[in-house]
Amino acid sequence: MSNFVVDPYRFVAGETCFESYSYENDSDNSEFASMCSTRDMFGIRVVAGSSLIGGKVTSIAFKIHVNGTGGSCGTFTSRIVADASNGATDETAIATSTNSIAVTSVSDNDILTFNFSGTSALVEDNGIYLHATDTSTCMDCANNFVTITKQAPQTADSGVFRASEWGGSNFEDRNENENSTVKVCYE
């Protein structure tokens, strides 16, 4: 018999992180899209069988590339949307990060980390995105201020997620080998 009392109602949840970073810098690992005009959300769509399904997101990090000037472009947040399948038309967030990051504070190759609290479990076709405010007024496609770095094709994680973007009127899948560099932590 034990010499100490164990509280059966006390549970410390463990956190798991799915990390998909590639720091190579070659033509196969260039950014996959630019945040400009109506394209103000870039990230991933959770695919069937993904290890992310069932996880409750606690933080999301994106590695970005700054290749222009953003002016007063507002802030970045991270969003989770219900249905980011190719062609879906509702960009309403079902969860938004508890923190935001001023665009003017971002430097090239920064990793932007966003925290979440109280999210629902992820399901197939949920989308996890970096969202920029005010893109229609201060980020034009000629300057291509911010892009999310993609993984090199040889390290793509298409069994876990697909790279995706909001195309102005609906979600669009990117090339299967253009998975963005992302770290999703969940419990």
Q: Does 95 have pLDDT greater than 70?
A: yes
Residue 64 lies in a domain: no
Residue 79 lies in a domain: yes
Report strand pairing: 146-149 vs 127-132: unpaired
Lowest average pLDDT, out of 25-29, 37-41, 157-161, 181-185, goes to: 25-29
Lowest average pLDDT, out of 32-41, 57-66, 151-160, goes to: 32-41
Residue 16 lies in a domain: no
Helix (H, G, I), strand (E, B) or coil at 138: helix
Alpha-carbon distances, residue 99 vs 39, 76, 87, 95, 128 (angstroms): 21, 9, 29, 12, 15
Report d(CA 80, CA 57) in Å as an integer: 9
Residues 6+ apart with CB under 8 A from 40: 131, 132, 133, 135, 136, 166
Q: Does 36 have pLDDT greater than 60?
A: no
Residue 11 lies in a domain: no
Number of domains into which the chain is organized: 1
One-letter amino acid for residue 113 of the chain = T
**pLDDT tens track for 108-137:** 778 899 999 999 999 999 999 888 776 555
88-96: long-range contacts (C-beta < 8 A, 24 or more apart)?
Answer: 88/125, 88/170, 88/171, 89/169, 89/170, 89/171, 91/41, 91/166, 91/171, 93/131, 94/120, 94/126, 95/57, 95/119, 95/120
- For range 145-166, the mean pLDDT: 69
What range does the domain containing 137 cover? 34-58+71-186
Residue 15 lies in a domain: no
